[in-house]
Amino acid sequence: MALSDIRRILISDSLAPACAHILRSQGGIEVEESPGLTPAELIAKIQDYDGLIVRSATKVSAEVLKAGKRLKLVGRAGTGVDNVDVDAATKNGIIVMNTPTGNSISAAELTCGLILSLSRQIPQAAASMKQGKWDRKKYMGSELHGKTLGILGLGRIGKEVAIRMQSFQMKTIGYDPIIPPHVTAEFGVQQFSLEEIWPQCDYITVHTPLLPSTTGLINDAAFAKCKRGVQVINCARGGIIDEGALLRALQSGQCGGAGLDVFTEEPPQDRALIDHPLVISLPHLGASTHEAQNRCGEEIAQQIVDLVKERALLGAVNAPALTKAFSPDTKPWIQLGEALGVLLHSLSPELRGAVKVSTSGDSLKSSGSFLCSAVAIGLLRNSGKKVNLVNGCLFAEELGVQVTSQHSTDSTESRLEVSAGIVHLIGGLSSTEPCLRQIGSSAFQSPVTLRGTLLLWTGEASPGKLLDLLSLAGLHLQSFHIASGYSMAAISAPLSDLSQLGSCLQITF
User: Which residues of the shown chain bind ligand 9EZ in the complex (CB under 6 A)?
Assistant: 152-153, 175-178, 208-209, 211, 213-214, 217
| Minimum distance, C-beta of residue 208 to ligand 9EZ, in the bound complex (Å) | 4
Residues 17, 39: Cα–Cα separation, whole Å: 23
User: 266, 350, 397, 460: which is the annotated catalytic residue?
Assistant: 266
* CA pair distance 243, 267, nearest whole angstrom: 14
Q: How many residues does the chain have?
A: 509
- Minimum distance of ligand 9EZ from residue 153's CB (angstroms): 4
Please tell me the distance from the alpha carbon of residue 117 to that of residue 124, in angstroms, as a whole number. Answer: 9
Residue type (1 letter), 32:
E
Q: Per the residue annotation, which of 284, 381, 407, 451 is the catalytic one? A: 284
CA 204 to chain centre: 29
In the complex with ligand 9EZ, the residue whose CB is nearer, 160 or 298, is 160
Active site residue 76: no
Residue 75 CA to residue 29 CA, distance in Å, equals 14
Residue 191 sits at φ, ψ, to 5 deg, of -95, 145
Active site residue 460: no
Classify residue 301 by burial, with Cβ atoms within 10 Å: 0-12, 13-18, 19+: buried
Q: How many helices (H) and strands (E) does the chain have?
A: 17, 22
DSSP string, 272-308: HHHHSTTEEE-SS-TT-SHHHHHHHHHHHHHHHHHHH
**3 state SS for 7-50:** CEEEECCCCCHHHHHHHHHHHCCEEEECCCCCHHHHHHHHHHCC
Judged by beta carbon, residue 201 or residue 448, the one nearer ligand 9EZ is 201
CA quadruple 126, 131, 133, 138: dihedral sign: negative
Considering the complex, state which of residue 209 and residue 440 has its C-beta at the smaller distance from ligand 9EZ: 209
Tell me the one-letter amino acid at 273: L
Choose between 212 and 267: whose C-beta lies nearer to ligand 9EZ.
212
Complex with ligand 9EZ: residue 102 or 150, whichever CB lies closer: 150
Q: How far is the CB of 152 from ligand 9EZ (least distance, A)?
A: 4
Q: CA angle, 128 as apex, 126 and 133 as ends, to 5°?
A: 125
Nearest residue (CB) to ligand 9EZ, 236 versus 339: 236
CB of 328 to ligand 9EZ, least distance (A): 31
Using the Cα atoms of residue 76, residue 82, residue 85 and residue 89 in order, give the sign of their dihedral. Answer: positive
Three-class HEC string of 62-88? HHHHHHCCCCCEEEECCCCCCCECHHH
Give me the least distance between CB of 393 and ligand 9EZ, in Å please. Answer: 23
Least gap, CB of 192 to ligand 9EZ (angstroms): 11
Q: For ligand 9EZ, which is the closer residue by CB, 12 or 111?
A: 111
Output 211 or 472, the one with its CB closest to ligand 9EZ: 211
Q: Provide, rounded to whole angstroms, the least separation between the CB of residue 236 and ligand 9EZ.
A: 10
Quick check: is 237 catalytic?
A: yes
Per the CB < 8 A criterion, the answer to whether 432 and 444 are in contact is no
Q: Exposed/middle/buried for 499, CB within 10 Å: 0-12, 13-18, 19+?
A: exposed
Give least dist CB 144 to ligand 9EZ, A. 22
Q: How far is the CB of 240 from ligand 9EZ (least distance, A)?
A: 9
Of 55, 237, 415, 424, which is the active-site residue? 237
- Closest to 435 measured CA to CA, from 365, 324, 332, 355: 332
Provide the 10 A C-beta neighbour count for residue 254: 18
CB 158 within 8 A of CB 176: yes
Burial class (CB within 10 angstroms; exposed 0-12, middle 13-18, buried 19+) of 162: buried
Kindly report the backbone phi and psi dihedral angles of residue 80, in degrees, each rounded to the nearest multiple of 5, phi listed first: 80, 165
Which residue's CB is nearer to ligand 9EZ, number 176 or number 298?
176
Question: In this structure, are residues 256 and 230 in contact, taking their beta carbons and an 8 Å threshold?
Answer: yes
Residue 427 is which amino acid? G
Residues catalogued as catalytic: 237, 266, 284
